[in-house]
């Protein structure tokens, strides 16, 4: 599989996890009248998830390609 296609698949998986993490059932778990470090729990969850996804997306998007020498060799056919 080409590296570009693998990167796109990883970004789509991150998108799917982001949609699930910021969807109603999980948000309802953190919608309590509880304060952690002086911040409402829901806000803390939203900002933490947001920051984690930004870091993960940056990691996937900026990942360097493998050096050319480490690619598998292809067998070329000689044409006479």
pTM of the model: 0.69
> Is residue 79 scored above 70 in pLDDT?
no
Q: Tell me the per-residue pLDDT of 35-54, one tens digit each, with 9 for 90 and over.
A: 888 999 999 999 999 999 99
Domain range for 8 = 3-64
Is 73 part of a structural domain of the chain? no
Q: Element (H or E) spanning 12, and its range? A: helix 3-21
What secondary structure letter does DSSP report for 38? T
- Please report which confidence band the pLDDT of residue 75 belongs to, taking 50, 70 and 90 as the band edges: low
Q: Give the tokens for residue 60.
A: 């996937």
- Please report which confidence band the pLDDT of residue 16 belongs to, taking 50, 70 and 90 as the band edges: very high
Q: What is the pLDDT of residue 47?
A: 94
Q: What is the pLDDT of residue 45?
A: 94
Q: Give the tokens for residue 49.
A: 């998830």
Tell me if 60 sits within 8 A of 10, measured CB to CB. yes
What is the total count of domains within the chain? 1
Is 74 part of a structural domain of the chain? no
Q: What is the pLDDT of residue 3?
A: 80
Is 59 part of a structural domain of the chain? yes
CB atoms under 10 Å from CB of 69, counted, come to 6
| Cα torsion through 63, 68, 73, 77, rounded to 10 | 120
Q: Give the tokens for residue 1.
A: 């599989």
Is 50 part of a structural domain of the chain? yes
Is 33 part of a structural domain of the chain? yes
């Amino acid at each position: 599989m080409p590296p570009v296609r693998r990167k796109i698949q990883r970004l789509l998986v991150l998108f799917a996890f982001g949609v699930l993490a910021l969807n109603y059932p999980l948000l309802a778990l953190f919608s309590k009248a509880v304060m952690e470090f002086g911040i409402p729990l829901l806000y803390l969850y939203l900002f933490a998830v947001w920051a984690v996804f930004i870091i993960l997306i940056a990691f996937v998007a900026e990942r360097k390609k493998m050096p050319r020498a480490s690619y598998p060799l292809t067998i070329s056919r000689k044409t006479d």
